[in-house]
Every structure is written in C-alpha cells, then in structure tokens.
Structure 1
C-alpha cells in the first residue's frame, strides 16, 4: 500500500511524478537545467518566508484586536480565503509561487484573530501554544534528520488512517452540533476531551514526519522549482493545525484550574 501525507499539498500527484516527461528524459544531457530543480535549501527558505508573512499578518490583526477591532470577521474571512487557495494549489501546483504567499497572509488573519480571542479569555496562552508548536517541530525535525523515526509504508498507513478518522469525527460532530442539540465529546474541559486533544496533537506531529519525507522525495526526484513553494505551503498547513490544537488543549487545561 502506498500511502502519502494527508496534507492536501504533499498528498498530490505532483510529488509522486518525476520532474521530466519521457520525451524530456531522452535529452537529459542537453536539456536539464539543474538550477530549476526543487532543492531542500530552497524549500527551507520558502518555508521561512511563508512563516514571516503569516506572522506579520497575524501580528497586525492581533494589534488591531487589542485596539478595539472585532477579530471574528478577519479570522473567518482569512480562513475561507486560505482554504480556497489551498484547493486551487492542490489542482494547480505550478501557481504555488503566487498562491503560497497569499495563503500565508490570509491564514495569518485567521491565526491572529483566533489567537486574540483565546488570549482575551486565557492570558498567556498564545506564547505557550507558539512555544509548544516550535518545540514539537524542532523535535520532529531532529528525529527525522537522524533517522530515529523512519517513515515506512506502515507508518504512513497508520498516520493517514488516524488523520482521516480525526477529520471525519470533526466533520460529523460539527454537522450534528449545527442541526441538533448534540454536544461533541471533545467540547468542554473533561478528561475525555483533554485526552482527545492530546491524541490529535500527537497525530498532527506525526504528520510532520510525512511532510518531511515527501519534501525529501520531491528533491530526490528533481521536481520543478515551483514545488519548493508547494512543499513549504503544505508544511505550513500542518504547523497551523498543530498550533490550533495546542491552543485548544491549553484552553481546556486552563479551564480546569
């Protein structure tokens, strides 16, 4: 079974194809310009650029919120536009050089808005969530780099299955809560709810290993340069998910004090 990352970007046929068509392969000696291939350093640099754009956008909304602006509208608007850009990039990865920065900016609106809302209710929670996200990312990166955690097909299958289960659970719970009086188990700050949040954070962190693996394979296959933006954008999606889940977990723990 060949399972890929459930990240909508990294689970894309563009990452499983070689960078050249059969016709191009015949003339590799004269046609290939290796400066146009995807590189690891290029992907890292673009990930850093997206992180700066997202942080800048989030900081602006944060500042405006604590100066009297309602953060709900920019948060919802940013989430919707960001999701649309995700969908476009899934089908048109060649435009990732334009879509990825746009995603980072609009997702920053969402992150800034939602962070301000949580910070108002639980002072100090944002810096804790940011710290937890960065530490988790660094730990996963070190574990992957030194092959302490190996991304096997079985590993991929388990993570993908768990991610699908979480996505299905969230969707079904949301639909039921919208149209009935059903209260999802992960709501509130019960021990069960906290346990679910911990489980989701673990799965989100494991998705980082799949993301690292797909980016590395893309470099090995010498995919086109625009895939650097594509890979960086996919990695950013996982980090945003991880950060939101840390916010939710910390808010539940704070609510039990």
Structure 2
C-alpha cells in the first residue's frame, strides 16, 4: 500500500498521474508554461509566506496597541481551516484560496505569537529561527538525497502523524467534558518529550511535502497545482512553528 503526505493538500488525488490525463483532452496541446514546475511552486511559496508575515505583523502591532489578540487568532484559524477544506476538494481554485489562507493564517499566527511573547519575551524570534533552520536542514537533506523518501519512510511518518492527530483529538474532547488534564499540558518531562516528538514528526512531513511537489512537477500537473503545493507546504511550516512555540514555552516556564 502506498502512503503519501497527510497534508490535506499534498495528499490530494490531484497529484496523481491519472488526474492529469482526465483533465486534458487528447487533442489539446499543452505548453510547458501551463505545467506545474518546482521553481513556480517555490515562487508562490515565498509569496504566501510574505502575505502570512504581513498579516501577522498587522495583528502583532494591533495587539501591542491594545487589541485583544484572541479575536484575530480565533477568526483567522476558523476561516483558514475553511479555506483548507475547500481547496482540498477544489484545488483548481487554489490561486484564489491560497493567498486568502496565508492572510487569515497570518492573523492566527500573529495573535498566538503575541500571546506567547507577552508571557515569554523573546520566544517568537527563537521559534521563527528554529523553524527556518529546520526547514533549511530538511530541504538540504532532501535535495542531496541524504534522506530518501521511500515507501517505508512514508509509512512510518504517516502512521506517526495519524497517531498524533488522534491523541490530540481525544485529549481535547476529554478536557472539554471532564477534569482530565492531557499529558502534553504543563512543563513536565513527559510533556516536553511529547513536544520534541511532535516537532520531529512535523519536520519529517516536510520530506513528504517536498517529494509530492517534485512528483507533481515531473508528472506535469496543471499550473494551479503550484498554488496547491505551496499552500500545503505552508500548512506544515505553520504546524512546525506552533510546535516550536509550545516547546520553548515549556522550557521557559521551567526556569
């Protein structure tokens, strides 16, 4: 059985070779400028990152000028999630949905970052730095094939990701209706260990994302899949950044 990235975008059936054939009539001539490319995906990822950063900075500025960061954080998270769901089913609209996702996710990131920064000064720049370093290291390891994305590799990462998602969901439901406090709450060694494990799995998901983007370019997927792939990669990076924030906050609270 073939396992692919659990990222809702990069695991979409639009990345399959057959989907390309179904979308193009046999008599249609397709030019290379209409196909997905790695460079095009990189450019769109950079654009999405800039939009996300700009939105986050606006929320950051407003927060430190008296606005409650919870409002943009919750609103951005909800709308961003809705756009994720729509794009997962309608990837052809990714050119419009991906920028919207970046902006609203930026509101979420800005709000959450401001909350952490108030309590733990300096934590945001540390989390940003850790995220960038992790991304650069993973990209280098993938580019030079030091780590190869085999079927076994995919299976392990997917299984671990599903386990994390299931654990988070069950813990959240229990905490809503009972007095149960999940193990990953607080700053115990168990909690810190869980955060480290989640960060490792999030980083490993980057390899799966790189692999799916490369496959999409090789299979000459439609041009809009560049937005689709860029959006999926941003989702993983946001996850990684949030987990670094959580880990660093736990470590800071132990001091």
TM-score class, shorter: over 0.9
Deviations 1:106-148 (A, max 9, x none): 0000000000000000000000000000000000000000000
- Distance in 1 between residues matched to 2:248 and 2:139, nearest whole Å: 23
Moved more, 142-151 or 10-19: 10-19
TM-score normalized by structure 2? 0.98
The answer to whether the 8 A contact 1:40-1:219 is kept is yes
1:111 to 85, 109, 112: 109
| Aligned-pair Cα RMSD in Å | 1.2
SS in 2 for 1:69: coil
* Residue 126 of structure 2 corresponds to residue 128 of structure 1: yes
Alignment of 1:1-257 (within 5 A): 1-18=1-18, 20-21=20-21, 24=24, 26-27=26-27, 31-257=29-255
The answer to whether the 8 A contact 1:100-1:229 is kept is yes
* Runs of 4+ with >3 A deviation: 22-27
- Distance in 2 between residues matched to 1:20 and 1:64, nearest whole Å: 45
Offset of 1:90 from its aligned partner? Answer: 0.2
Offset of 1:20 from its aligned partner? Answer: 3.6
The answer to whether the 8 A contact 1:9-1:231 is kept is yes
| Count of residue pairs the alignment pairs up | 255
Unaligned runs of 5+ in 1: none
Deviations 1:159-216 (A, max 9, x none): 0000000000000000000000000000000000000000000000000000000000
SS in 1 for 2:175: helix
TM-score normalized by structure 1? 0.97
Deviations 1:48-104 (A, max 9, x none): 000000000000000000011100011000000000000000000000000000000
